[in-house]
Structures are given as structure tokens and as C-alpha cells.
């Protein structure tokens, strides 16, 4: 099942965006083998200790434990590389090379290999060797500055813009593009996926509007950053929140109708100097009803409305339940695979497995002889 069935991908264990990329590819049917370290203490998800069962990013693949600091362990990975379509690594620049698993060595073993590299700053540039996290990469890309209330500080958008949006998703796109091209040319290549690049790319529309003079550098003062009173969130009588996105005029008119505001009471809708006072007026109205009451009045209309749901509430919403947006695997509720395919549907291939749970099985499936595997186990190269 899945459109990537038949693709073989090696994932050198890491945290955050590279595992997210591997999860996307594995959910779409690729055979992804995660190469874990042999003496790993606890599991790490985004650098935070987390029981493997809850490490959703690690679902859908098998794990082999290999000591990459042992030259014999590097050789094991190179044996796997010989029959792989792609390899994914998320080390700092130069680390893979020091392990004997850099792109030159891997491409010498398999000229068709797509070598996917996930970093924050990229493989070169003044900051390339520096440590960093999502928040730093999106700060340098101009994304963090643009998110937050007027007069307030930049608001951290979880790690969605750097790690996952500008990082893992772009790496997955690059790896797949490389695989497609390699099937035509017979030649692999290196994919340099830097989160600072990806975050900047995600801001393409904002940069275009800024260049046209339609978006200012001020936070919370623009059309879709919470500045416009008809595009933002409002607190309700019970302390809940609702999200309004009535940009188009006909949607806006319907919003005013439900709120009991006459069409002539708020003239010159796009006069930005009036936005703060009008936001205050709408805020007062929204505080007169509960979130559920507003949902009853607005949900399913063309107002462009949604209740702001928590992580506990979202899986229970009737629309998400109808679509199967969330699934339960091994007792853990989590997002299902996306996007969806009509003929070759994606599927979660299994819960996150223990490190090394499939070492012997994977090595045998990828061409190593039984006596060779036994020898590697005895000498501690694999576990």
C-alpha cells in the first residue's frame, strides 16, 4: 500500500525534522529503516526524553542498532546503501563525513543514491557549524518577527515553521524529487535541506506583499497576522476562543449580519487606522456568548469560522471524526497520514518500535548473510 511502495530509504537516527520526513515517507509506503545507536539510553523526540510508544514521529518503520563509530558499523550502513534509493541524515555539517558515511563515500557505493541532509543553517555559510533550534532558524528567516500581537513580542509558533514545515516537509519534497530525477538520469545527488531556507520559502507570499508595500514590518498590523479585525481570534463568554477568517466581502457581510452589525455601521473596512477600535467592538460582542453558542450560529456557514480546539478536543470534532483525520495506534491518538491518495492510500505501518527491534531481520532482508550478521552481533557492531 502507498504510492512509495518499493522505495528503500535509510534514516540515520536523529531528532525532530529528519524523523518527521522519514515518517511522511514511511506512511506513504516507503520501506524506511531507522539506524539507531547501540547504547542509546532513553528515546529522544525533539531532544526531549519520551517513551517510544509516544514517539509518533518514529512510527511506520523498522529499527536496526548499528555502532556508527565502529568502522565495521559504517561498513554495515554502506552495505545497506548499495540497495537504497535514499539516505536521510540530520547531523551537523561534517559529522557524517567523520563517521565515514558522507555523501561522497555513499554515492561511490551507489551512484543512484539520493543523499538527504537536514540542518538548521545549511551545509555552508558563516553559521553552518553553530548549534541552533527551530526558533533560531525562523528568526533569521524573517518568519518569527512577523508572528505576534501588535505592540507585543514575537510569538513562537511551536516548532511548525522551522522543524516541520521548513525542515522535514522540504526534505521529503527534495528527496522525492531527487529519486524521480535519478530514475531518469541514473545519477543520484545531495539534497541540502536547511530550515532557514525552508522557513524563508514558506514566507514567499509575505515577502511578495512586503515588496509591494501591502505588508508592513509591524506585527499584528496586517491582513492575515491578526491585524485585521475580520481575521483573527476572539475570546468567548466561557473563556474559549473562536477563529474568524472573513476576508472576502461576502463572507464579511455575513459575519456582520450574524453579529447584529448593520452593513453601514463599519464603513471603509480596510482603513487600517480603524482596525484596533473595530476589533474591540467585535471582542465585546463575542464575549456575550460561549464558544459552543457561536459554533452553533456560525459553523458551516461562509463566515469562515472555526472553534479553537485543544489537542484533546480536536480528535473528537465531528468533521475530523468523519474524515478519520486522527487515528489511534497502540492506544495513542495521533494524526493520520497526509495527504490522501485515491488509488494507493497511505497507511501507518506500525507503532514506533524499540531501537534494534529488527536488526537481524533488516540486515538479512537487505542482503547480509546469517553468519555475517551473527559475527557482527558477537563483536558488538550491531545490537
Q: Identify the CA nearest to 294 among candidates 306, 284, 304.
A: 306
- Sort residue 269 into left (φ over 0), alpha (ψ -120 to 50) or beta: alpha
* 332: three-class secondary structure by DSSP: strand
* Residues 333 and 315 sit within 8 Å (Cβ to Cβ): yes
The one catalytic residue among 27, 67, 163, 225: 163
Euclidean distance between CA atoms 53 and 328, whole angstroms: 12
Q: What is the DSSP secondary structure assignment for residue 19, as one 8-state letter?
A: H
First to last CA, the chain: 30
Going by C-beta distance under 8 Å and a sequence separation of 6 or more, which residues neighbour residue 109?
78, 81, 82
Going by C-beta distance under 8 Å and a sequence separation of 6 or more, which residues neighbour residue 137?
120, 121, 162, 166, 167, 194, 195, 196, 199
Angle, helices 195-202 vs 204-211, to 10°: value is 60
Number of neighbouring beta carbons within 10 Å of residue 2:
20
C-alpha cell at 335: 494524526
| b/e per residue 30-51 (b: at least 16 CB within 10 A) | bbbbbbbbbeeeebbbbeeebe
Number of neighbouring beta carbons within 10 Å of residue 165:
22
Is 330 in the active site? no
Is 133 in the active site? yes
Radius of gyration of the chain (CA): 25
The one catalytic residue among 133, 145, 210, 317: 133
Euclidean distance between CA atoms 13 and 89, whole angstroms: 7
Q: Is 101 exposed, middle or buried (0-12, 13-18, 19+ CB in 10 A)?
A: buried
Cis peptide before 339 (omega within 30 of 0): yes
Euclidean distance between CA atoms 69 and 12, whole angstroms: 13
- Name the residues annotated as catalytic: 133, 163
Amino acid at each position: 500500500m502507498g504510492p512509495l511502495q518499493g522505495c528503500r530509504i535509510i534514516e540515520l537516527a536523529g531528532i525532530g525534522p529528519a524523523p518527521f520526513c522519514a515518517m511522511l515517507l514511511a506512511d506513504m509506503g516507503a520501506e524506511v529503516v531507522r539506524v539507531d545507536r547501540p547504547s542509546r539510553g532513553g528515546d529522544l523526540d525533539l531532544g526531549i526524553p519520551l517513551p517510544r510508544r509516544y514517539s509518533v514521529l518514529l512510527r511506520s518503520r523498522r529499527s536496526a542498532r548499528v555502532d556508527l563509530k565502529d568502522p565495521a558499523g559504517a561498513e554495515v550502513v554502506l552495505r545497506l546503501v548499495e540497495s537504497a534509493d535514499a539516505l536521510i541524515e540530520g547531523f551537523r555539517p561534517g559529522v557524517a563525513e567523520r563517521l565515514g558515511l558522507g555523501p561522497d563515500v555513499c554515492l561511490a557505493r551507489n551512484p543512484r543514491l539520493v543523499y538527504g541532509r537536514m540542518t538548521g543553517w545549511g551545509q555552508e555559510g558563516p553559521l553552518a557549524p553553530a548549534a541552533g533550534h527551530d526558533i533560531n532558524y525562523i528568526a533569521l528567516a524573517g518568519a518569527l518577527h512577523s508572528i505576534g500581537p501588535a505592540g507585543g513580542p514575537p510569538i513562537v509558533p511551536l516548532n511548525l515553521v522551522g522543524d516541520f514545515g521548513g525542515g522535514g516537509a522540504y526534505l521529503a519534497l527534495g528527496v522525492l524529487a531527487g529519486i524521480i530525477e535519478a530514475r531518469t538520469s541514473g545519477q543520484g545527488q545531495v539534497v541540502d535541506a536547511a530550515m532557514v531556507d525552508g522557513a524563508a520559502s514558506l514566507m514567499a507570499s509575505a515577502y511578495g506583499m512586503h515588496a509591494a508595500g501591502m505588508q508592513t514590518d509591524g506585527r499584528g498590523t496586517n491582513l492575515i497576522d491578526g491585524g485585521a479585525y475580520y481575521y483573527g481570534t476572539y475570546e468567548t463568554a466561557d473563556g474559549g476562543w473562536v477563529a474568524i477568517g472573513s476576508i472576502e466581502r461576502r463572507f464579511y457581510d455575513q459575519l456582520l449580519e450574524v453579529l447584529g452589525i448593520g452593513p453601514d455601521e463599519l464603513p471603509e473596512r480596510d482603513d487600517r487606522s480603524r482596525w484596533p477600535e473595530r476589533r474591540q467592538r467585535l471582542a465585546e460582542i463575542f464575549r456575550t456568548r460561549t464558544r459552543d453558542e457561536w459554533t452553533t450560529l456560525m459553523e458551516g456557514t461562509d463566515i469562515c469560522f472555526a472553534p479553537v480546539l485543544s489537542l484533546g478536543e480536536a480528535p473528537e470534532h465531528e468533521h475530523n471524526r468523519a474524515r478519520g483525520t486522527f487515528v489511534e495506534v497502540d492506544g495513542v491518538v495521533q494524526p493520520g497520514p497526509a495527504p490522501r491518495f485515491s488509488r494507493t492510500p497511505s497507511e501507518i505501518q506500525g507503532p514506533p518500535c524499540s531501537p534494534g527491534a529488527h536488526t537481524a531481520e533488516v540486515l538479512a532482508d537487505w542482503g547480509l548473510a546469517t553468519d555475517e550478521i551473527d559475527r557482527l552481533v558477537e563483536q558488538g557492531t550491531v545490537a
